[in-house]
Structures are given as structure tokens and as C-alpha cells.
Amino acid sequence: MQHSLRTIGRVPFDLGVLKSFFIDHQHITDKARLLVSDGQIIRLKKGLYILSEDYSDKKYNRFLIANHLYGPSYVSMQTALRYYGLIPEQVYAVQSVTSKVSRSFDTPIGQFYYTHCSAEWLSLGVQIQSEEDVSYLIATPEKALFDLAQFTSGISMRYQCEVAEWLENDLRFDMEAIPTLNIDLLKQLAAISHKHTTLETIIKFIENEQSI
């Protein structure tokens, strides 16, 4: 029965799922500790696990894990911008946005950071991305950019030159992608942002670039 654990695949699971594979085992937490010790599963946090790569022969999907580790949430900011190829720097921790309180998790497979937002903000600009056997929630490029502007302390812009400096020098954003950005979505986000002036300034810069 134990070998059928591989049918779980890459999706994180809780003790209830584990119990379904060992229905005759009275103390499932003890069994979980044994499986962790044997290297078959990895403990992500209390009550949440994932099959190890060595045991499952499948690579972790850290974006899927981020969704399950703390939710509702979606992957965003530099993590999403790097995923889309919009910034050059590698991003090692997975950054997410959540309607719950801000938190961070240091797990055996990496660090995960969550930034609080309103429920209204959470509902805009998020898409389902599918890869092979898994799907996860990730910000659109527009939402990832505005998440970064909204939730990074110290970012406040009123002039076009400040936006250019931020995008080109601080982020090293791929300026050739500017024409692909959805202005309507950016305006929807700006309308409910607590950094309305900053986001409107970014929108004006993007509109000017798209008109060239």
C-alpha cells in the first residue's frame, strides 16, 4: 500500500490524505514522522507534506506549493515578473499575495513570503497557469508589477522620470514588453489602490510608451 503514495504526484497533502493510504494505522502523525525520517515525504509546515523528489521522481513545483502552503494566495511580484521573463534577476524566495495576514515560511525546499491585500484586490488580475500535471494561481504581468509598486515600502512616484528610473534601472524591466500590458486592468487596479497616485503615474508612463 505504501508504494501507492506516488499516485499523489506533486500536490501537497495533509494528514487526512495520508491516512487514506494507511487506514489501519492508528497514529498517523507517527507514520508521517517515519516517512519524513525515511526521506519519502517532506514536512512543509504542521500537517502539510509533499512527496520528496527522490521518492516520487518528480520535480517540485514551488508555485503550486506556495498556493497550498498559505491561502487564498497567488504568486506575484518579482517571482512572477521573473517567470514571465520581464526582469533578469533570479528570484530565490517565492513571493505571494494573500487576503490573510502577512506571513513567511522557511521550508526544506525554500522560503515563501506572503503579503496581505484586501479581498477586492485579491480578485483582480490573477490567472490559472497549467504545467504538465499541475495548475496554480499566479498574477498576470500587470498585477505582478502593480503588486510590487503597491506593497513595497518607499515606492512613491509622481513624475514620469521616476517611473522610468524605477522600471529601467531598479527593476531592469523588459521595456519591449510595455506595449503588451493591459491598460484597462491597470486602471481597475489603480482605482482600488491605496497608492492611487503612484499607480496612475505608472499608467501614464505606460500609455505614453505605448503611443510611441
**Per-domain residue ranges of the chain:** 2-56, 62-211
For the record, the C-alpha cell of 202 comes out as: 505608472
Is residue 1 scored above 60 in pLDDT?
Answer: no
Query: CA-CA distance, 88 to 107, in Å (whole number)?
Result: 25
First-to-last alpha carbon distance for the chain, in angstroms, is: 63
- Residue 210's pLDDT is 93
pLDDT over 70, % of the chain = 99
The answer to whether 139 and 126 are in contact (CB under 8 A) is yes
Residue 163 to residues 63, 157, 182, 187, 199, Cα–Cα distance (Å): 29, 7, 17, 16, 10
Beta strands in the chain (DSSP E): 13-14, 41-45, 48-51, 73-75, 94-98, 103-107, 110-116, 126-131, 134-139
Query: CA-CA distance, 188 to 185, in Å (whole number)?
Result: 5
- Tell me the average pLDDT of the chain: 95
The tens digit of pLDDT for each residue in 82-134 reads 999 999 999 999 999 999 999 999 999 999 999 999 999 999 999 999 988 89
Residue with the bigger pLDDT between 152 and 25: it is 152
pTM: 0.93
- Residue 76's pLDDT is 98
For the record, the C-alpha cell of 91 comes out as: 528570484
Closest CA to 80 of 136, 20, 24: 136
pLDDT over 90, % of the chain = 90
Q: pLDDT class for 25, splitting at 50, 70, 90?
A: confident
Report helix angle 141-151 to 196-211, nearest 10: 140
Query: CA-CA distance, 18 to 123, in Å (whole number)?
Result: 32
- Residue 26's pLDDT is 81
Tell me if the bond preceding 72 is cis, omega within 30° of 0. Answer: yes
The tens digit of pLDDT for each residue in 169-190 reads 999 999 999 999 999 999 999 9
Closest CA to 47 of 37, 57, 60, 33: 33
Is residue 155 scored above 70 in pLDDT?
Answer: yes
Is residue 2 scored above 90 in pLDDT?
Answer: no
Query: CA-CA distance, 49 to 57, in Å (whole number)?
Result: 16
The answer to whether 10 and 133 are in contact (CB under 8 A) is yes
Is residue 3 scored above 60 in pLDDT?
Answer: no
